[in-house]
Amino acid sequence: MKTDILKTEEAIHFVKQTFELELKHELDLTRVSAPIAVFKGTGINDDLNGIERSVEFPIKQFSDRKAVVVNSLAKWKRIRLKELEIDSGKGIVTDMRAIRPDEDYSPIHSVYVDQWDWEKRIPKYSRTLEYLKLEVQKIYSALRKTEIKLNDKYDYYSEQLPDKIHFIHSEELLQKYPTLRPKERERKIVEQFKAVFLVGIGHELSNGEPHDGRAPDYDDWSSKNEDGFIGLNGDILLWNPILKDSFEISSMGIRVDKDALMTQLKKRGEESRESLFFHQLLLNDKIPCSIGGGIGQSRICMFLLRKKHIGEVQTGIWDESLKEQLCTEGITLL
């Protein structure tokens, strides 16, 4: 048993190291250090779906001013692009660690989040669906190359990713499966194509509901794209043959400009955020146009190493009864 765990730990390290190198090469990224927390009330921390609580704590050195553990670094990275004077077409990537206390536990969720948070500076004319798709294809290429190298190193794995990733807008998916709920629609399309980029997450569809929630101040989910649909963002979804389900590995998109920010804040009733530090930087043209996202480290390891539970690829806080139950199924949590 201990030998199996050590082999898994070695394979986890190999996957993370290999994928990061491939990602940096494909997207022209430089690895930078990442914060674990930022000051509360600056607008820098991400609000995800807008309802999750953040972990917060006082800092004695700053007269007990509150800081919050980051949820992700979407907005922090845009500021960092400016501070580091990153050239257009190049970007940064971080090893982001977070605690999300409102996550519902499942085989693919825990309170601990580890992801590659990346951001790339782009010219304003690249704020298009065509450019978004090009960057998605590069990420997918990095994933396929990682899978090939993993299979070369450990001959007990086999390739499962298709040659290409399929693109579809969430409105098209709704029209294709009008009677199904969003996650059911995802499952259908991903089972068919095995690798899908679902475009347009956050804006209301023709049924009056968004496919899923997005915070109003990082991805652009309100601009009309050249295909005639709404949104310049999306999710990378893979078919997981172990779980027999759609498996999200990344949420990403072209970031809001001034117009998209104001539109999305108004739609969410969050106009008060305009006065926050980050939002003022954006509204006063002090941070660059960019594209970026997060790619789940544990999710990538789960998928490539054929694991059934996220606790097999990350250490975490687990109920003892769950650990005992999984052990009877041959699943050992780290």
Q: Is residue 33 part of a domain?
A: yes
Q: Is residue 334 part of a domain?
A: no
Q: Is residue 287 part of a domain?
A: yes
Encode pLDDT of 70-126 as tens digits: 888 988 999 999 999 999 999 999 999 988 888 888 888 888 899 999 999 999 999
Place of tokens 């996220």: 310
> What are phi and psi for residue 120, nearest 5 degrees?
-130, 130
Catalytic residue among 46, 186, 217, 220: 46
Catalytic residue among 227, 245, 248, 257: 248
Place of tokens 């494909």: 26
Nearest C-alpha neighbor of 232 from the set 207, 258, 210, 201: 201
Q: What is the CATH number of the domain that holds 31?
A: 3.30.930.10
- The token pair at 148 is 């090939």
> Has 248 been annotated as catalytic?
yes
> Has 115 been annotated as catalytic?
yes
Q: Is residue 84 part of a domain?
A: yes
Domain that holds residue 122: 2-328
Tally of domains within the chain: 1
Residue 51's pLDDT is 63
Q: Is residue 333 part of a domain?
A: no
Catalytic residue among 251, 264, 290, 314: 251
* Mean pLDDT score, 226-243: 97
Give the model's confidence band at 221: pLDDT under 50 very low, under 70 low, under 90 confident, else very high.
very high
> Has 280 been annotated as catalytic?
no
Q: Is residue 211 part of a domain?
A: yes
> Has 46 been annotated as catalytic?
yes
The amino acid that residue 320 corresponds to is E
Beta strands in the chain (DSSP E): 29-31, 37-39, 56-59, 65-69, 91-99, 112-121, 166-169, 195-199, 233-240, 245-254, 290-296
Q: Is residue 155 part of a domain?
A: yes
Residue 48's pLDDT is 62
Catalytic residue among 78, 100, 121, 214: 100
> Has 222 been annotated as catalytic?
no
Q: Is residue 170 part of a domain?
A: yes
Catalytic residue among 54, 72, 110, 115: 115
Residue 327's pLDDT is 82
Cβ pair 161, 306 in contact under 8 A: no
Encode pLDDT of 273-295 as tens digits: 999 999 999 999 999 999 999 99
> Has 235 been annotated as catalytic?
yes
Residue 84's pLDDT is 97
